[in-house]
Structure 1
Amino acid sequence: MSKNPNQKLKLLYLYQILLQRTDENHKLTTDELRAALERCGITAERKSIYSDIEALQNFGLDVICQRGTGGYYVASREFELPELKLLVDAIQCSRFITEKKSNELIGKIEHLTSDHEAHTLQRQVYVSERVKTLNEQIYYNIDALHAAISNDVQITFRYFNWVLNFSASPRIQKQYRRDGARYRVSPWALTWDNENYYLIAFDHDAGEIRHYRVDKMDSLVQTDLPREGKQLFDDRFDAAAYSRKVFGMFSGEEKTVKLKCLNRFIGVMLDRFGSSLRPFPADNEHFYLDVDVVVSPQFFSWVFSLEGDVRIVNPPEVCEAFEKQIHKFID
């Protein structure tokens, strides 16, 4: 009688069983391990289980035997359960990942822990209730953009907005900008702002830095042309600092703006502009702050939302533009 070919895979099956079915609160005895192997078509003596467990421990698997019950379990893994929950939360909250892709990623994360702990991850999955992008292509766009940056080449793509079409039954559809003509830019960085992914790139036609929402990019292609705009993206360029200046990633003219803020708003300023702020006192209740921002209606809306506790005091042209913006709401 020929030997069962699965016997050669005994150690691998044992490794898989321990990872999938055991954790600190769920253990398997030697007999239970033998029975699990038997269901895989593999016979095992008690002594061979002991030596196989020792081999897995020498390999680096943190298998513990609890004295008394003789139960074995995997005590630690590459990712601990709180870390996996953090990853699941990040995926759930990410608008740029579609609902379908979110569920696929969470399913893969569940395989990084035991079946029992994977159940606790599944209990906190509420992806269908979150606001998600409609563009399934974004997941692959991000990978293609990283590749283009690494390969130091330009890209082309089509750029669109979502619009309502009432010609038949109302439906949401893509409307391509520039009548569908392709954009050609040099990609330099990716940033995540206000729950969306943005590409920061050098626009050849405009000769300046511009940004594009990755979930609104379509038919993205790498070219053989080398990237341009290197002088604007030297070693001093900080993508995170750039994102702090640009409110809602809307373009405008960059200016240094002086703000007068109530003292209790220092936390709001830290959240928005980072820890390198240099506030200086205005009076006992207020401080001044000079910040570099891209002046846009979105910046004015942010200031307006702080209900007068943060005011623009300089430069005069920004103050005037802010007043005009306010009058648009009341005229």
Structure 2
Amino acid sequence: MNESRVFALKILAILQKYSDEDHVLSNQQIQDLLLANYDIKMDRKTLNTYLNIINDEGIADISMYQDNRKGYYLISRLFEKSEVQLLCQSIYSSHFLSASLSDKLISKLLSTQSKYVEKTFNETMAQKNKAWKSENKQFFHTIDILLEAIEKKCAVTFNYAHYDIHKQLIFNKEQRYKIHPYYLVQSNNNLYLLCRTKNYQDINAYRIDKILNIELTDEKARPLEYGFDLHKHVKQRMYMYADKPVMITLRFHSMILDDIIDMFGKEIIIQPDREQKDLLITRVCSSKKGMLYFALQYLNNCEILEPQELRDELIECLHQGIDKYQKQ
């Protein structure tokens, strides 16, 4: 790389780290920072030449002294400040990422901003407790292998972990899963692999943060059936339960309408109950196991009307719960 290109990149790096709309740098300050950070000594005229080249050639969008009468700062960045804040918060709240992987991602995102934005983020970041983060440091390696396997249409093998009483991820070394991978999807704040085994038709879901020691194989993956609808499949598998979805009629209080739409989407048809004010009725296609879990969470404001066997199953769960809590 020639010297001129190196100088231009270093000037741009200074502007990216030390300048923004609220922190405008003078020509002398940029010279001082070049010397302090990169041992580059540059006079005022040469610096102005480079700043003009960077701006005029579209390498970066710089607010110049003649624009603001104060100095120089970087106007546009790869990400806006609000976008970085949103992405960083999402990373910190994703428990399937280990603390170390989260920190690396956050650091990469913050490197697109000035150091002042980084300071503000660290002061205002809501999620600072890392005790609940995953311990699986193979997470991105697993994703890389899965993406390669999906592209090459080949099977993979892996161990599948679970927590023990000491809160450590453990697995049976002798038990290797061999599956045909199809999609990576996020649901319920987890990242899942949708796949199936060689001799079974049903699509299964595995949490990627619990996959360990993944390896590619030479076995060709069985293709999905033509017309497979990923969006429909995920929407109908509440909490990623794999049982066959059925049509379910719900009656619910209007106070949980937002939660119903968040869970089932805006495509559902909602009608007012003819007999009781503030109650609404809808029909959804969903996993029975997932719906049972959902209905128990919203027990006071949601009722399963059909199918009867699912309604009976919920009643049995309630009886068992009452018996458990009534025991002395």
Interval of TM-score (by shorter of Structure 1 and Structure 2): 0.7 to 0.9
1:242 to 233, 238, 241: 233
* Residue in 2 that maps onto 1:225: 219
Per-residue CA deviation, residues 60-108 of structure 1 (Å, 9 max, x unaligned), is 2111124585511112212111111111111111111111111111111
SS in 1 for 2:13: helix
C-alpha distance 46-243 of structure 1, shift in aligned 2 (>3 A): same
Task: Show CA shifts across 1:213-247 (max 9, x none).
Answer: 1111111111122211511xx33412x43333323
Aligned pairs for 1:59-138 within 5 A: 59-60=57-58, 61-67=60-66, 70-125=70-125, 127-130=127-130, 131-138=132-139
Contact conserved, 1:145 with 1:187, CA < 8 A, in 2? yes
Q: Secondary structure at the match of 1:71?
A: coil
Instruction: Out of 74-83 and 125-134, give the one that drifted further.
Output: 125-134
* Contact 1:252/1:295 (<8 A) preserved: yes
How far 1:181 sits from its partner (Å)? 1.9
CA distance in 1, matches of 2:5, 2:303: 74
Paired residues of 1:99 and 1:128 also in contact (CA < 8 A): no
Q: Give the counterpart letter for 2:182 in structure 1.
A: W
From the superposition, tell whether residues 281 and 59 of structure 1 become closer, same or farther in structure 2 (CA, over 3 Å).
Answer: same
Distance 1:262 1:311 in 2: 9
Task: Say whether 1:26 aligns with 2:23.
Answer: yes
Q: The residue matched to 2:260 in structure 1 has which SS?
A: helix
Distance in 2 between residues matched to 1:89 and 1:316, nearest whole Å: 43
Quote the offset at 1:145 in angstroms. Answer: 1.4
How has the CA–CA distance of structure 1 residues 174 and 90 changed in structure 2, closer, same or farther, with 3 Å as cutoff?
closer
Per the TM alignment, residue 45 of structure 1 is displaced from its structure 2 partner at its CA by: 3.0
Question: After superposition, where does 1:140-159 map in structure 2 within 5 Å?
Answer: 140-159=141-160
What is the percent sequence identity of the aligned residues?
23
Look up the match of 1:304. Answer: 296
**SS in structure 1 of the partner of residue 64 of structure 2:** strand
1:275 is aligned to 2:266: yes
1:46 alignment partner in structure 2: 44
1:162-191, Cα deviation, whole Å (9 max, x unpaired): 112xxxxxx3344436x7321111111111
Shift of 1:6: 6.3
Q: Could you list the runs of 5+ residues in structure 2 that have no partner in the other structure? A: 324-328
TM-score normalised per structure 1: 0.87
Say which SS state the counterpart of residue 242 (structure 2) adopts.
Answer: coil
**Comparing 287-296 with 42-51, which one deviates more in the overlay?**
42-51
Distance 1:321 1:62, change over 3 A: same
Aligned residue in 1 for 2:167: 172
Structure 1: distance between partners of 2:136 and 2:33? 43
Q: Give 1:266 shift.
A: 2.7
Cα distance in 1 for residues equivalent to 2:160 and 2:303: 36
Q: For residues 36-78 of structure 1, what are the alpha-carbon distances to aligned partners after superposition, in whole Å with 9 as ceiling and x for unaligned?
A: 3344343333222222111000232111124585511112212
Separation (CA, whole Å) in 1 of partners of 2:39 and 2:256 = 67
1:162 partnered with 2:199: no
Number of matched pairs: 316
**1:192 matches 2:186:** yes
Structure 1: how far apart are the matches of 2:126 and 2:273? Answer: 47
SS at match of 1:190: strand
More strand by share: 1
User: Partner residue of 1:35?
Assistant: 32
Amino acid at match of 2:61: D
CA RMSD of aligned residues (A): 2.3
Contact 1:10 1:37 in 2 (8 A): no
Residue equivalent to 1:206: 200
Distance 1:47 1:229, change over 3 A: closer
Q: 2:306 aligns with which of 285, 289, 314?
A: 314
**TM-score (structure 2 length as normaliser):** 0.88
SS class of match (2:124): coil
3-state DSSP class of the match of 2:156? strand
Equivalent residue number for residue 12 of structure 1: 9
Inter-partner Cα distance in structure 1 for 2:122 and 2:188: 26
